[in-house]
Amino acid sequence: MSINYDPDGVPDVSSEVWDQADRMGLKPIHVICDEPGARVGDPEGVSFIAFGEHLPRTGERIILEDGSRLEVRGVIHKATMGENGMISMVANVVAYRISPQA
């Protein structure tokens, strides 16, 4: 699984991971972790693709593996056309750090 530190980039996930998630019935969620006060283009923050059964809702909390706590501030659904012409929609969860790393 890829973690992305480029604010303009998208995490790279292998086709094997996509296939496994599909077999398990899990949906992709692009999680964007921003720092409080960060502006567009700042090098702070991280994003990654997670797979889950349920989409986090605004106000819910996410705890990362490093112990950081995030609060979901919004969910944006983005439609993208793939190389084969199929349009897919992925949920982008925007969350802000509310506590530092452990």
Beta bridge partners, 70, equal 62, 97
pTM: 0.78
pLDDT the model gives residue 53: 92
First and final C-alpha spacing in the chain: 22
pLDDT the model gives residue 73: 94
Is the pLDDT higher at 73 or at 101?
A: 73
pLDDT the model gives residue 56: 94
Angle at the Cα of 59 from the Cα atoms of 63 and 30, rounded to 5 degrees: 60
pLDDT the model gives residue 23: 95
Does the pLDDT at position 101 exceed 60?
no
